[in-house]
Structure formats: C-alpha cells, structure tokens
Amino acid sequence: MSVKNLAVVHLQYDYSKYPDSFAYIVGQLNKLSCKKKYFIINNKRIKKKNEIFDNVYILPGDNSNWEFSGWQKGLDYIRKNIDCDLILFTNDSLNSHHNNYRMLESKRLEYFFEDVFLNYHPEYHKYLFFYIC
C-alpha cells in the first residue's frame, strides 16, 4: 500500500524569522506521488477565520501550549473535515541551520512512507502520524 492522501500540518509562528520554510516543505514533498493537503497553523495570528486556497488551508492557532496546541488545532480540523492516510507534522524551523532535515532531501522519505504502509493495518489504526522538525 502506498500513501494516497497526505495531510501536512505545518506550524508557523513568525513568518519573518523563517520566511522560506513552507515553500521548502512543499518543494520537497512535491517529489512524492500522492495527493497532498497543507494545513498552515499560524500560532501568532490574531484572526480567528480559516482561509482555504486550493490545497492549502491557513488555520489560526493560539500558541497556548506552544507548537503542541497549534498541531492539535490542525489535527482536530483534519479529523472533522479531511480524509487522509498519513499526517505529517512540521514546524517553521525545519529548514533552519540548526535542524537536520536531510530526510526530506532524499529518497529516504519516500522509502520511509512505503515502509510505514507495509505495516499499516487500517482495522487497527485510524491515523498514521509522522513528525519532522
């Protein structure tokens, strides 16, 4: 079985600090042959309105529990509204100098997803989660 529908929950707090992080993730994940929906959780955002642009959803966060509350908001939205096989959690510092993000830049990510699905049993698991930060 392969990943058919991937949901990416990308936490963002300060766009000016890591302005290219989302574009980097999209560029790397475009190498995968599956449908992708991106959920940007803006934890610094004051607005309480969701915005949807094709396969990109911008959801307000509240930073009440740092990135964890933001990821929870994304997960809650996905559970209610989206059908997916795998949920990938990322944050805005992913492609910064202090993170080792080589998995996204090689075939290893694709192989990892395939390995996960070889051991995936939908009768036991509702969602699969994978975290990169």
Q: Write the pLDDT tens digit of every residue in 98-130.
A: 555 555 665 666 666 666 655 555 555 555 555
The percentage of residues in the chain with a pLDDT greater than 90, rounded to a whole number, is 28
Q: Is the pLDDT of residue 45 over 90?
A: no
Burial 81-99 (b: 16+ CB within 10 A, else e): eeebbbbbbbbbbbbeeee
* Mean pLDDT over the full length of the chain: 79
Per the structure, the complete domain to which residue 62 belongs is given by: 5-131
Q: What's at 92, amino acid-wise?
A: D
pTM more than 0.85? no
Domain count, the chain: 1
Alpha helices in the chain (DSSP H): 21-29, 66-81, 108-118
Q: Which of 89, 41, 75, 43 is nearest to 62 (CA)?
A: 43
Give residue 56's pLDDT band: very low, low, confident or very high (50, 70, 90): very high
According to the model, what pLDDT value does residue 18 have? 84
